[in-house]
A and B are shown apart, each in its own frame.
Chain A
């Protein structure tokens, strides 16, 4: 049975997702000892070549899978510490992972999820067709996250985090990804039923609802991946060295920062610009 990691990256004018995917892929390959493949589009590849990272990307990724760039008017406000801006968010094709993956057992990760341990390696052989990240796990504590980080809406179902998804390629998981796609294509109707805000498409919501439906319209946490340790986008990745990542944590979300460092744990870094600022040091780790 082949095992591997799949990462999607579609650049926009503000965020170099391809570069982040290369860092995430390199770290995942190094720490989990499995191959990594990239799903991207032609214009992102052109940018990778122009910015001279494509040859390194070819050494990180086993396959570079080219797909049509999703058309979307999805917009999202992303912070970089205290500042923030609206950026296009091209992420609506995650439901194609089942068809595109070259592996029998796939770990699908976001390009801003960085693997520094082999913890997820314990899940390769778990007897479950699809597993999602169980919840968000704020690097500070749970005072900074709210009900809507744990549920799709005020009255809706539990929210899983599609930052990490592990699946086997079989008929059950195919049904799951078909359902995710169905939720995506009928997002406003599902928004009426599950009472979430449909203005911005979120994979977390589409995956959570698909799981809820296929679990028989009930919550079943039994088989899921560990909660996703996350530094929020108001936090800043300050520096990187071979032993640790140092963050400035906005611990009250009021622009009051304290320092913290992490090592040997997988981390979801939502402040993408601070990842880009530390690209050189991160690339040296892969």
Chain B
């Protein structure tokens, strides 16, 4: 086989693995950013973080009703505690995401990709 074609096919194969590794990593991160609380289910994202932070800034922290990922109203008795938990999870998970993503990006062979 022509060497150039062989290299191209090798790269194509690498890209398949690369995209699966990225997808699975995203799935893992997305699952970790799901937070079940008081009968509701929250997706910890920038919207939730910003909204909760704004309520805390305005000192609306007791007996707050938040809409969860399914638009259902959920009572949060202590918003400061809730805020601490979602910020803790967010930073922990996004740090992990960054580290793992860097490892995947730097892996230049299928062997290295699947050994991450």
Contact = CB atoms under 8 A, between A and B. Distances in A.
Interface of A: 117, 119, 121-127, 137, 139-141, 222-223, 226, 229, 244, 246, 249, 251, 258-266
Interface in B20-41: 20-21, 23-24, 27-28, 31-32, 34-36, 38-41
B114 A259 contact: yes
A137 to B, nearest CB: 7
B115 interface: yes
A141 B114 contact: no
B102 interface: no
Contacts of B70: 222-223
8 contacts: A126-B41, A139-B23, A249-B16, A258-B20, A260-B16, A261-B114, A264-B28, A266-B31
Contacts of B34: 119, 122, 226
Contacts, number: 74
The SS class assigned to the B binding surface is helix
Interface string B49-90: 000000000000000000000111000000000000000000
B48 interface: no
Interface in B101-116: 110, 113-116
A258 B41 CA distance: 36
Contacts of B115: 261
Contact of B116 (A121, A226, A261): A261
Interface residues of B, number: 27
Contacts of A141: 19, 23
Nearest to B41: A126
A122 B19 CA distance: 28
Contact of B20 (A127, A222, A249, A263): A249
A222 B40 CA distance: 11
Contacts of B27: 137, 229, 265
A194 B17 CA distance: 38
